[in-house]
Structure 1
């Protein structure tokens, strides 16, 4: 397989695999760590989801700037190494139990990802621009994408074993070790990168970086500060007088205003021949926001579903294997475990004073009485972060099938256009939410636990939607962008992903406000259905624009 591709591919494949190992290990335990009362920060569901959403939003915001800096000034090799080191240090710091250090660590990860993520993909693409490998470009990216998901699949098993065996800090350190292995692997392969690593510099027609700072970054910072400081009307439902739910959410939404206005101005100021392609891309950016808003619930709301509403009890051989691999933990049942609870602790009165009892076993609160263990009896539960490996598992399994499906259609000249694939990807993703609606019904709205197969089915369906949409999105941006603003439009894709990630955090923060959990998932379904409807409404025009450019 490797000998038909550039010699750099194995090194880039393994570097990305280890980088994703570290990132998804960290994401898999992040909200669980924040909500842990005894060894974490005892955050509520809303607080943890809000911080998670802001974090992953900023993680996907910085690649826009990191890509431009590497492209014009720093070069890809230096940027990738710098980004990897920043992320590795951030992961090591993340397990230190201090909020200021946690925020510092998150900042390092945000900056590091901005330098690493866009540039390793760009470097790989540079090897496939010559005639020798041009025909194998899609195959090369598919191999590279598999590396991402291999890392994302195996990392959660390491994370579960380490935090069960040692604690949160050691699990985060493992993420850092994985990142540094990725950097070392990348450096070992430097001799194979040759001239493909050279920075492009500032080309004629490129928007000056000073103008980007002046018209995008600086206004966003100013608006973000205004959003943080500005307060709405206080009420019983909103005692802190937030405008959109929290200070960070207010700041992020306000910061997006200059960005949206800037990208809108690109359309209105464009030459007549560029208006339709830019308009098509802006439409795709809008629907992508809604897709990522629902998809990224995997690290927040769906992580909570796997933790509290899924039957994680294991016995027999599975229990022995998971116990030996440290992928499970034992939990003792208390006779009054189905009583009053609040997150991961309970409040009770002792001598007239309210006392918080930590590590209260909320797992038992929705186990039927006839299935409860005896008092003080211990049962084995598989670690909740393992559910984060379901999506990458499906990607590994389904990618070859999706590729084969489109190859089958291509041979018969029936392959749909890229916008059509995106439209059907949105529709399939919407159908995945219906699986969770059914799961809530099966569990009588959370009063009983449900099988893990509901999560497996949900991830299986939405992964098909992901494979129809995510790789296609980057492809269509590169195909439709006017030559002089390709970098800006690629940055628009990352910005749309960033806004979608923040929307995911906003949605997840409302989990506890829905007494009927089916309504939470119906909201997500409606968002994806609206995105699907918008995509199908403009599909004919999008396909026409693609045809005018002689591309599919």
Structure 2
């Protein structure tokens, strides 16, 4: 890494600035579309809650399984630069095709975004790690700044796309998301032309890349294959009820490839890789609970919260807005504590992340104490819950991104980044199952209203199944949401405390990585 001042901006490699803005606009497109998706399905396409949650969970989980493949292809053949450009083009097409209201375009668009994200997401994150040398004290701070870019896009997008959708029609909201992706591509391309990345991100093996088959080099072959896999993912989303078979296939692939890597690395790398897997498991639980945000929490806000100043789609920006407020202070905090040798190690940060996440969902459940005659609760609890779980996210998610690049064996770094994102694949799959627990069947309550969970829910919310059944359908729906949030909030806190207790063991396995 060239550390001269001419190649730096604000104390970080200049390339970080371009990756920051490229990711900002890519996430603008992604989260703008995500904020509209469940509402679009339930209000415009008139899908049932159950079907909308199923499609949403399948789409969001697949978005995070393709990064494993995209990571391998970048590691072996494409390099970060070409993978990011290919992914961006696929995603832009996906957003624009959503403007056509036809099943082929609807499912095909989701397929394009899934494949595109597989090339874009792991490789832009790995590219950030590549800007810093091993042991560079600025790494955590750099990833937290990069994470700010993600959430700046995620904060603006739901408000802007929701306003366009509300004012001009759903399809204009999707068009705006597509424009965001195009801007992200242009920013990244400008960084390439300005040569801010130096010799980073090129094809790892040009001889292999230039090998031809039927007159096509490896890059062209991969591009054609990427487009050909789009219908496959579209079909999986269409028949999302069979997604559990894919979960098994992905799990077998993951376990097999990780075993292969473990056999080919030295003892220290084995220990570090074990920690990377442990962190990924914790992040899976975090993601399964946290990702109610785009599905059940959006419908909860629409149906059972007295919203002020925004609609339900706009509530998706609350979390990202808090990230914007706190990302830089957290970045400064980690740097400040590092200088004084008081920065908590990553194992402790992960455990605190889970504890704060759980507390955030317990606050959502406490909103029961503000319920009115229309079964609507105060927006204050929604905002406060998002504030607390956002603090948890800042303890865990950007730190995880940073640690994956440090804990991974060098030649497998993009694949291990893909493994990290697989936590979102599993997380969204299980998030869909959790969201479905919030749907109401007449005369029935969910599993979390009975036994020890029922007692816990009553303690937090003050509501029993009997009280819920004596009230309106809207009140029963509210109780269904809050019973699930209270239960999973408590589960997250308990796991976080356990992770805190075993953090000294994890720190030892990290073999010098903080």
Indicate the TM-score class for this superposition, using the shorter chain for normalisation: 0.7 to 0.9
Say which SS state the counterpart of residue 299 (structure 1) adopts: coil
Q: Which residue number in structure 2 is paired with residue 238 of structure 1?
A: none
Q: Hey, what's the Cα distance between the residues in 2 that align with 1:51 and 1:257?
A: 21
| Residue pairs, 1:130-141, within 5 angstroms | 134=136, 136-141=138-143
Secondary structure at the aligned position of 1:290 is classed as helix
1:168 aligns with 2:170: yes
For 1:360, the equivalent position in structure 2 comes to none
- The answer to whether the 8 Å contact 1:54/1:248 transfers is no
Q: Who is 1:310 aligned against? A: 305
Work out the CA distance in 1 between the residues paired with 2:14 and 2:274: 39
Deviations 1:131-186 (A, max 9, x none): 9xx55444433332222222111112221221112111111011111111111222
Q: Which residue of 2 aligns with 1:88?
A: 92
Shift of 1:65: 1.2
Partner Cα separation in structure 2 for residue 159 and residue 512 of structure 1: 27
Return the offset for 1:305.
1.4
Distance 1:389 1:248 in 2: 32
Cα displacement string for residues 91-130 of structure 1 (whole angstroms, at most 9, x for unaligned residues): 0111321122111000100111111112222333333339
Query: Could you tell me which of 73, 79, 87 is aligned with 1:75?
Result: 79
Is the CA contact 2:64–2:425 (under 8 Å) kept in the aligned structure 1? yes
Give distance in 1, aligned partners of 2:103 and 2:434. Answer: 24
Deviations, residues 386-436 of structure 1 (Å, cap 9, x unaligned) = 101101110011123323444454444332111111111111111111101
| CA distance, structure 2, for counterparts of residue 538 and residue 302 of structure 1 | 32
Other-structure match for 1:510: 437
Q: Is the 8 A contact 1:267 1:279 kept in 2?
A: no
Q: For residues 19-418 of structure 1, what are the structure 2 equivalents within 5 Å?
A: 19-36=26-43, 40-129=44-133, 134=136, 136-193=138-195, 194-201=198-205, 247-259=241-253, 261-262=255-256, 265=259, 274-312=269-307, 382-418=310-346
How many residue pairs get matched? Answer: 442
| TM-score normalised by the chain length of structure 1 | 0.73
In structure 1, what is the Cα distance between the partners aligned to 2:132 and 2:275? 27
Q: CA deviation digits over 1:311-331, x for unaligned, max 9?
A: 1366xxxxxxxxxxxxxxxxx
* Distance in 1, Cα, partners of 2:411 & 2:308: 57
Separation in 1 of the partners of 2:420 and 2:304?
34
Distance across 2 between alignment mates of 1:124 and 1:261? 26
For residue 200 of structure 2, give the secondary structure of its aligned residue in structure 1: helix
For the pair 1:467 / 2:411, whether they are aligned, the reply is no
Deviation track 1:267-313 (CA, whole Å, cap 9, x = no partner) reads 98576555543333332222211100011111001101111111136
Instruction: Measure how far apart 1:32 and its partner are.
Output: 0.4
2:428 aligns with one of 474, 491, 501: 501
Displacement of 1:487: 4.1
- Establish whether residue 420 from structure 1 lines up as the match of residue 422 from structure 2: no
1:551 counterpart = 2:496? no
What's the CA shift for 1:529?
Answer: 3.3
Q: 1:104 to 1:24 in 2, by over 3 A?
A: same
Q: Secondary structure at the match of 1:75?
A: helix
Measure the CA separation in 1 of the matches of 2:350 and 2:15: 31
Q: Distance in 1 between matches of 2:185 and 2:269?
A: 40
Which structure has the greater CA radius of gyration? 1
C-alpha spacing 1:5/1:254, structure 2 compared with 1 (3 Å): closer
Alpha-carbon distance between aligned partners in 1 of 2:22 and 2:416, rounded to the nearest angstrom:
26
The root-mean-square deviation of aligned C-alpha atoms, in Å, is: 3.1
Q: Deviation per CA, 1:226-276: give whole Å up to 9, x if none.
A: xx9xxxxxxxxxxxxxxxx96244334333441464267459857655554
Residue 9 to residue 103, structure 1, CA distance change in 2 (3 Å): same
Cα separation, 2, equivalents of 1:506 and 1:247: 11
Structure 1 regions of 5+ residues with no counterpart?
204-220, 229-244, 315-381
Q: Distance in 1 between matches of 2:251 and 2:127?
A: 32
2 CA distance for matches of 1:41 and 1:461? 34
**Cα distance per residue 1:43-66 (max 9 Å; x no partner):** 111111111111111111111111
Deviating more after overlay: 463-472 vs 13-22:
13-22
Q: Distance in 2 between matches of 1:62 and 1:512?
A: 29
